[in-house]
Amino acid sequence: MSSQKLVRCELRRKGASEGQVRFVPLEIYGLWEHLMCSKHQFEVVTPRASLWLDMEDAPDAAYSMDQYERVTEVTAFVYSDRDEMFTRARRYFPSDEAEHLKKIFLSHYTSGEGRIQTQVHERQGIWIHREKALVTA
């Protein structure tokens, strides 16, 4: 069964009342939160950890609508000229915003003329709601 531990949180500009939902792998959450706060001056609020499950392994029919959120995994295999090999960059987006956010994500990996193109793969999944629990880095 394909799964990933993700933190669901809200990312917003300091002083703003509304933000955007983000899903971040638990293993890098502390570093990501520090970067968003210190470099980009965002606030990261209401973090909650749970599991992302691949839809092929965990069909949404097994859960009621209020027990999950649809989340799309986008993986880019990016060629590094420096290392002369591919590296993997993986992000998770709310499915209803995935197309828009995928364009922003991939813009960080634009291929120049004569470079090997980025290969992109997507998988549909669900993020399971759990009881509130504090996330510590």
- Strand-pairing partners, residue 23, are 8, 92
Q: pLDDT by residue (tens digit) across 4-34?
A: 999 999 999 988 888 999 999 999 999 999 9
113/118: higher pLDDT: 118
Residue 61 pLDDT grade (very low, low, confident, very high; cuts 50, 70, 90): low
What percentage of the chain has pLDDT greater than the value 70?
84
- What's the confidence (pLDDT) of residue 10? 95
Asked whether 34 and 49 are in contact (CB, 8 A), the reply is no
- The pair phi, psi for residue 55, each rounded to 5°, is -65, -30
**72 vs 79, which has greater pLDDT?**
72
C-alpha to C-alpha distance for 49 and 33, rounded to whole angstroms: 14
Query: Which pair of structure tokens corresponds to residue 113?
Result: 């003329």
